[in-house]
Amino acid sequence: MSNPLARHWGLETIVAELRASREERHRTRHPRGIRELPSRDAIVHIVDGLRASMFPTHYGAPDLTDETVDYYVGHTLDSTLRLLSEQVRRALRFLPEHAETSEADLGALAFQITRTFGTQLPSIRALLVSDIQAAFAGDPAAQHITEILLCYPGVLAVVHHRIAHALHQLGVPLLARFINEIAHSATGIDIHPGARIGPSFFIDHGTGVVIGETAVIGERVRLYQAVTLGAKSFPADGDGTLVKGQPRHPIVEDDVVIYAGATILGRVTIGRGAVIGGNVWLTHSVAPGTHVSQGNVREGARADEREHEPARRARK
Protein backbone atom coordinates (compact mmCIF):
# COMPACT_ATOMS: atom_id res chain seq x y z
CA MET A 1 0.00 0.00 0.00
CA SER A 2 1.44 3.37 -0.97
CA ASN A 3 2.15 5.98 1.65
CA PRO A 4 -0.27 8.95 1.26
CA LEU A 5 2.36 11.28 2.70
CA ALA A 6 4.61 10.56 -0.29
CA ARG A 7 2.29 12.61 -2.49
CA HIS A 8 2.24 15.38 0.13
CA TRP A 9 6.04 15.74 0.10
CA GLY A 10 6.47 15.22 -3.62
CA LEU A 11 8.89 12.39 -2.91
CA GLU A 12 8.84 10.90 -6.40
CA THR A 13 10.34 14.08 -7.86
CA ILE A 14 12.86 14.50 -5.05
CA VAL A 15 14.01 10.88 -5.27
CA ALA A 16 14.37 11.14 -9.05
CA GLU A 17 16.39 14.35 -8.77
CA LEU A 18 18.65 12.83 -6.13
CA ARG A 19 19.26 9.83 -8.39
CA ALA A 20 20.14 12.11 -11.28
CA SER A 21 22.53 14.02 -9.01
CA ARG A 22 24.13 10.78 -7.75
CA GLU A 23 24.44 8.98 -11.04
CA GLU A 24 24.89 11.75 -13.61
CA ARG A 25 25.49 15.34 -12.56
CA HIS A 26 27.39 15.21 -9.26
CA ARG A 27 28.89 11.77 -8.84
CA THR A 28 30.95 11.15 -5.69
CA ARG A 29 31.10 7.38 -5.84
CA HIS A 30 34.33 5.59 -6.74
CA PRO A 31 34.70 5.29 -10.55
CA ARG A 32 34.24 1.53 -10.30
CA GLY A 33 31.06 1.94 -8.30
CA ILE A 34 32.41 0.42 -5.07
CA ARG A 35 29.65 0.20 -2.50
CA GLU A 36 31.37 -1.88 0.19
CA LEU A 37 32.96 0.92 2.20
CA PRO A 38 35.00 0.69 5.39
CA SER A 39 32.74 1.05 8.42
CA ARG A 40 33.40 3.85 10.92
CA ASP A 41 31.66 1.88 13.68
CA ALA A 42 33.83 -1.16 12.96
CA ILE A 43 37.00 0.96 13.02
CA VAL A 44 36.02 2.47 16.38
CA HIS A 45 35.60 -1.08 17.74
CA ILE A 46 38.96 -2.08 16.25
CA VAL A 47 40.85 0.79 17.89
CA ASP A 48 39.10 0.10 21.20
CA GLY A 49 40.09 -3.56 20.93
CA LEU A 50 43.70 -2.75 20.08
CA ARG A 51 43.96 -0.29 22.98
CA ALA A 52 42.47 -2.87 25.33
CA SER A 53 44.91 -5.51 24.08
CA MET A 54 47.94 -3.27 24.62
CA PHE A 55 46.77 -1.76 27.93
CA PRO A 56 44.26 -4.27 29.32
CA THR A 57 44.16 -2.97 32.89
CA HIS A 58 43.37 0.57 31.70
CA TYR A 59 41.16 0.02 28.66
CA GLY A 60 40.07 -3.61 29.08
CA ALA A 61 37.73 -5.45 31.44
CA PRO A 62 37.56 -4.08 35.01
CA ASP A 63 37.90 -7.45 36.77
CA LEU A 64 41.09 -8.79 35.17
CA THR A 65 43.53 -10.80 37.29
CA ASP A 66 47.01 -12.16 36.66
CA GLU A 67 45.38 -15.49 35.78
CA THR A 68 42.86 -14.10 33.30
CA VAL A 69 44.65 -11.18 31.62
CA ASP A 70 46.44 -13.19 28.95
CA TYR A 71 43.24 -15.04 28.04
CA TYR A 72 41.44 -11.69 27.79
CA VAL A 73 44.18 -10.21 25.57
CA GLY A 74 44.21 -13.26 23.29
CA HIS A 75 40.43 -13.36 22.95
CA THR A 76 40.22 -9.60 22.34
CA LEU A 77 43.02 -9.67 19.78
CA ASP A 78 41.48 -12.57 17.87
CA SER A 79 38.12 -10.84 17.44
CA THR A 80 39.75 -7.45 16.77
CA LEU A 81 42.15 -8.72 14.10
CA ARG A 82 39.34 -10.61 12.37
CA LEU A 83 37.37 -7.38 12.22
CA LEU A 84 40.44 -5.46 11.08
CA SER A 85 41.17 -7.92 8.27
CA GLU A 86 37.72 -7.31 6.81
CA GLN A 87 38.14 -3.53 6.97
CA VAL A 88 41.59 -3.79 5.38
CA ARG A 89 40.07 -5.84 2.54
CA ARG A 90 37.46 -3.14 1.92
CA ALA A 91 40.02 -0.34 2.03
CA LEU A 92 42.44 -2.09 -0.35
CA ARG A 93 39.82 -2.07 -3.10
CA PHE A 94 40.19 1.73 -3.33
CA LEU A 95 43.84 1.50 -4.38
CA PRO A 96 44.33 1.67 -8.17
CA GLU A 97 46.69 -1.30 -8.12
CA HIS A 98 43.92 -3.50 -6.70
CA ALA A 99 41.16 -2.42 -9.07
CA GLU A 100 41.27 -5.80 -10.85
CA THR A 101 42.45 -8.00 -7.96
CA SER A 102 40.18 -10.98 -7.38
CA GLU A 103 38.19 -11.20 -4.16
CA ALA A 104 40.12 -14.28 -3.09
CA ASP A 105 43.50 -12.61 -3.63
CA LEU A 106 42.32 -9.40 -1.96
CA GLY A 107 41.14 -11.33 1.09
CA ALA A 108 44.45 -13.20 1.29
CA LEU A 109 46.40 -9.94 1.07
CA ALA A 110 44.23 -8.34 3.75
CA PHE A 111 44.87 -11.32 6.02
CA GLN A 112 48.63 -11.08 5.50
CA ILE A 113 48.69 -7.32 6.16
CA THR A 114 46.64 -7.79 9.32
CA ARG A 115 48.87 -10.63 10.50
CA THR A 116 51.97 -8.48 9.97
CA PHE A 117 50.31 -5.59 11.77
CA GLY A 118 49.54 -7.88 14.71
CA THR A 119 53.21 -8.78 15.07
CA GLN A 120 54.02 -5.06 15.36
CA LEU A 121 51.74 -4.46 18.37
CA PRO A 122 54.47 -5.07 21.00
CA SER A 123 56.73 -2.46 19.35
CA ILE A 124 53.78 -0.05 18.98
CA ARG A 125 53.07 -0.50 22.69
CA ALA A 126 56.72 0.20 23.51
CA LEU A 127 56.53 3.48 21.58
CA LEU A 128 53.32 4.40 23.38
CA VAL A 129 54.87 3.71 26.77
CA SER A 130 57.69 6.11 25.87
CA ASP A 131 55.05 8.73 24.92
CA ILE A 132 53.17 8.20 28.20
CA GLN A 133 56.37 8.50 30.21
CA ALA A 134 57.24 11.71 28.32
CA ALA A 135 53.82 13.12 29.24
CA PHE A 136 54.33 12.24 32.89
CA ALA A 137 57.83 13.74 32.94
CA GLY A 138 56.79 16.85 31.00
CA ASP A 139 53.63 17.84 32.87
CA PRO A 140 53.98 18.85 36.53
CA ALA A 141 50.20 18.56 36.91
CA ALA A 142 50.24 14.83 36.08
CA GLN A 143 49.70 12.75 39.21
CA HIS A 144 50.23 9.26 37.80
CA ILE A 145 50.32 7.18 34.62
CA THR A 146 46.67 6.16 34.92
CA GLU A 147 45.58 9.80 34.77
CA ILE A 148 47.58 10.26 31.57
CA LEU A 149 46.19 7.13 29.90
CA LEU A 150 42.58 7.90 30.79
CA CYS A 151 42.41 11.69 30.58
CA TYR A 152 44.99 13.22 28.23
CA PRO A 153 43.72 14.06 24.72
CA GLY A 154 47.28 14.24 23.38
CA VAL A 155 47.88 10.66 24.44
CA LEU A 156 44.59 9.54 22.86
CA ALA A 157 45.60 11.18 19.58
CA VAL A 158 49.06 9.61 19.66
CA VAL A 159 47.62 6.14 20.38
CA HIS A 160 45.49 6.47 17.26
CA HIS A 161 48.43 7.80 15.28
CA ARG A 162 50.79 4.96 16.23
CA ILE A 163 48.18 2.44 15.08
CA ALA A 164 47.30 4.40 11.94
CA HIS A 165 50.92 5.00 10.95
CA ALA A 166 51.66 1.27 11.10
CA LEU A 167 48.73 0.56 8.76
CA HIS A 168 49.78 3.44 6.50
CA GLN A 169 53.25 1.91 6.21
CA LEU A 170 51.68 -1.46 5.40
CA GLY A 171 49.84 0.04 2.43
CA VAL A 172 46.34 0.77 3.76
CA PRO A 173 46.19 4.60 3.66
CA LEU A 174 42.40 4.93 3.61
CA LEU A 175 41.95 2.90 6.79
CA ALA A 176 44.84 4.76 8.44
CA ARG A 177 43.24 8.11 7.61
CA PHE A 178 39.95 6.89 9.02
CA ILE A 179 41.62 6.04 12.35
CA ASN A 180 43.35 9.40 12.71
CA GLU A 181 40.23 11.35 11.75
CA ILE A 182 38.31 9.59 14.54
CA ALA A 183 40.92 10.91 16.99
CA HIS A 184 40.80 14.32 15.30
CA SER A 185 37.05 14.50 15.89
CA ALA A 186 37.47 13.54 19.55
CA THR A 187 40.48 15.72 20.44
CA GLY A 188 40.88 18.52 17.89
CA ILE A 189 44.37 17.16 17.15
CA ASP A 190 44.96 16.50 13.45
CA ILE A 191 47.91 14.19 12.70
CA HIS A 192 48.20 12.76 9.21
CA PRO A 193 48.98 9.02 9.40
CA GLY A 194 51.94 9.48 7.06
CA ALA A 195 53.81 11.70 9.55
CA ARG A 196 56.87 10.00 11.07
CA ILE A 197 57.14 10.58 14.82
CA GLY A 198 59.92 9.31 17.07
CA PRO A 199 59.57 7.97 20.62
CA SER A 200 58.84 10.00 23.77
CA PHE A 201 56.50 12.37 21.93
CA PHE A 202 54.21 14.58 24.04
CA ILE A 203 51.40 16.91 22.97
CA ASP A 204 50.35 19.02 25.97
CA HIS A 205 46.74 20.27 26.01
CA GLY A 206 46.58 19.58 22.30
CA THR A 207 43.54 21.26 20.78
CA GLY A 208 44.32 22.73 17.38
CA VAL A 209 47.60 20.87 16.75
CA VAL A 210 48.13 20.04 13.04
CA ILE A 211 50.90 17.75 11.80
CA GLY A 212 51.13 17.26 8.04
CA GLU A 213 51.63 14.12 5.98
CA THR A 214 55.37 14.43 5.31
CA ALA A 215 56.41 15.87 8.67
CA VAL A 216 59.32 14.11 10.39
CA ILE A 217 59.60 14.44 14.18
CA GLY A 218 62.55 13.16 16.18
CA GLU A 219 62.82 11.86 19.72
CA ARG A 220 61.68 13.60 22.92
CA VAL A 221 59.79 16.37 21.10
CA ARG A 222 57.12 18.34 22.94
CA LEU A 223 54.33 20.38 21.32
CA TYR A 224 51.71 22.58 22.91
CA GLN A 225 48.21 23.49 21.73
CA ALA A 226 47.56 25.10 18.33
CA VAL A 227 50.98 24.24 16.88
CA THR A 228 50.99 23.75 13.10
CA LEU A 229 53.61 21.78 11.20
CA GLY A 230 52.26 22.55 7.76
CA ALA A 231 53.08 23.08 4.11
CA LYS A 232 54.12 26.46 2.73
CA SER A 233 53.10 25.79 -0.86
CA PHE A 234 51.49 23.11 -2.98
CA PRO A 235 53.29 22.36 -6.27
CA ALA A 236 51.06 21.57 -9.23
CA ASP A 237 51.68 19.80 -12.52
CA GLY A 238 51.06 21.21 -16.00
CA ASP A 239 47.28 20.97 -15.84
CA GLY A 240 47.06 22.48 -12.36
CA THR A 241 46.59 19.23 -10.43
CA LEU A 242 48.37 19.20 -7.08
CA VAL A 243 51.43 16.91 -6.98
CA LYS A 244 50.86 14.32 -4.25
CA GLY A 245 53.37 12.93 -1.77
CA GLN A 246 56.20 15.47 -2.15
CA PRO A 247 58.09 16.37 1.07
CA ARG A 248 56.54 19.69 2.06
CA HIS A 249 56.29 19.68 5.86
CA PRO A 250 58.90 20.45 8.54
CA ILE A 251 61.60 18.21 9.96
CA VAL A 252 61.77 18.59 13.75
CA GLU A 253 64.92 17.13 15.25
CA ASP A 254 65.37 15.58 18.72
CA ASP A 255 64.65 17.44 21.99
CA VAL A 256 62.75 20.34 20.38
CA VAL A 257 60.01 22.21 22.28
CA ILE A 258 57.40 24.17 20.31
CA TYR A 259 55.11 26.39 22.35
CA ALA A 260 51.43 27.23 21.83
CA GLY A 261 50.29 28.80 18.60
CA ALA A 262 53.56 28.44 16.70
CA THR A 263 53.23 27.88 12.95
CA ILE A 264 56.09 26.25 11.03
CA LEU A 265 55.62 25.88 7.28
CA GLY A 266 57.51 24.17 4.48
CA ARG A 267 60.33 21.64 4.29
CA VAL A 268 62.43 23.42 6.88
CA THR A 269 64.51 21.88 9.68
CA ILE A 270 64.16 22.80 13.33
CA GLY A 271 67.55 21.82 14.75
CA ARG A 272 68.11 19.60 17.75
CA GLY A 273 67.34 21.20 21.10
CA ALA A 274 65.74 24.33 19.61
CA VAL A 275 62.92 26.08 21.47
CA ILE A 276 60.23 27.78 19.38
CA GLY A 277 58.23 30.36 21.32
CA GLY A 278 54.49 30.89 21.30
CA ASN A 279 52.76 32.35 18.23
CA VAL A 280 55.97 32.36 16.18
CA TRP A 281 55.54 32.10 12.38
CA LEU A 282 58.49 30.31 10.76
CA THR A 283 59.21 29.54 7.12
CA HIS A 284 62.97 29.01 7.41
CA SER A 285 65.23 26.51 9.15
CA VAL A 286 66.47 27.00 12.70
CA ALA A 287 69.95 25.99 13.90
CA PRO A 288 70.34 23.46 16.73
CA GLY A 289 69.97 24.94 20.21
CA THR A 290 68.37 28.18 18.97
CA HIS A 291 65.68 29.89 21.04
CA VAL A 292 63.20 31.62 18.73
CA SER A 293 60.65 34.17 19.92
CA GLN A 294 58.42 36.65 18.11
CA GLY A 295 60.88 39.44 18.84
CA ASN A 296 63.95 37.81 17.30
CA VAL A 297 61.95 36.56 14.31
CA ARG A 298 60.90 40.16 13.60
CA GLU A 299 64.46 41.38 14.11
CA GLY A 300 65.69 38.70 11.69
CA ALA A 301 63.14 39.87 9.13
CA ARG A 302 64.28 43.49 9.54
CA ALA A 303 67.90 42.39 9.10
CA ASP A 304 66.95 40.65 5.86
CA GLU A 305 65.25 43.82 4.68
CA ARG A 306 68.36 45.91 5.50
CA GLU A 307 70.57 43.42 3.66
CA HIS A 308 68.47 43.66 0.49
CA GLU A 309 67.87 47.42 0.64
CA PRO A 310 70.94 48.37 -1.53
CA ALA A 311 69.74 46.02 -4.27
CA ARG A 312 66.27 47.54 -4.18
CA ARG A 313 67.72 51.02 -4.43
CA ALA A 314 69.92 49.99 -7.36
CA ARG A 315 66.87 48.64 -9.24
CA LYS A 316 65.15 51.96 -8.77
Tens of pLDDT along the chain (316 residues)? 566 655 677 788 888 988 888 887 767 666 565 668 899 999 999 999 999 999 999 999 989 999 999 999 999 999 999 999 999 999 999 898 998 899 999 999 999 999 999 999 999 999 999 999 999 999 999 999 999 999 999 999 999 999 999 999 999 999 999 999 999 999 999 999 999 999 999 999 999 999 999 999 999 999 999 999 999 977 777 776 777 778 999 999 999 999 999 999 999 999 999 999 999 999 999 999 999 998 765 555 555 555 555 554 544 4
Q: Are residues 163 and 255 in the same domain?
A: no
Find the length of the chain.
316
Residue type (1 letter), 29: R
Distance CA 220, CA 309 (A): 41
Judge whether 12 lies within some domain: no
Q: Are residues 162 and 61 in the same domain?
A: yes
Judge whether 257 lies within some domain: yes
Judge whether 215 lies within some domain: yes
Judge whether 299 lies within some domain: yes
Into how many domains does the chain fold? 2
- Name which of 288, 289, 316, 284 is nearest 303 in CA terms: 284
Please give the pLDDT value at position 270: 98
Contact 105, 97 (CB under 8 A): no
Judge whether 227 lies within some domain: yes
Which residue, of 129, 164, 188, is where some domain finishes?
188
Q: If DSSP codes are grouped into helix, strand and coil, which group holds residue 282?
A: strand
Please give the pLDDT value at position 3: 63
Q: In what order do the strands lie in the sheet with 202-203?
A: 202-203, 222-223, 257-258, 275-276, 291-292
Contact 229, 281 (CB under 8 A): no
Which residue, of 156, 188, 220, is where some domain finishes?
188
Q: Are residues 156 and 86 in the same domain?
A: yes
Q: Are residues 175 and 211 in the same domain?
A: no
Contact 304, 297 (CB under 8 A): no
Q: Are residues 102 and 156 in the same domain?
A: yes
Please give the pLDDT value at position 314: 47
Please give the pLDDT value at position 14: 87
Contact 208, 184 (CB under 8 A): no
Judge whether 11 lies within some domain: no
Q: How far is CA 253 from the centre of its chain?
A: 19
Antiparallel, parallel or unpaired: β 251-252 and 190-191 = unpaired
Q: Are residues 43 and 174 in the same domain?
A: yes
Distance CA 283, CA 278 (A): 15
In this structure, what CATH number is given to the domain that contains residue 149?
A: 1.10.3130.10
Distance CA 34, CA 72 (A): 36
Which residue, of 165, 188, 211, is where some domain finishes?
188
Other Cβ atoms less than 10 A from the Cβ of 186: the count is: 12
Q: Are residues 145 and 176 in the same domain?
A: yes
Structural domain of residue 306, as residue ranges? Answer: 195-316
93-to-17, 166, 167, 205, 249 alpha-carbon distances in Å: 29, 19, 15, 37, 29
Q: Are residues 172 and 121 in the same domain?
A: yes
Q: Are residues 47 and 122 in the same domain?
A: yes
Judge whether 52 lies within some domain: yes
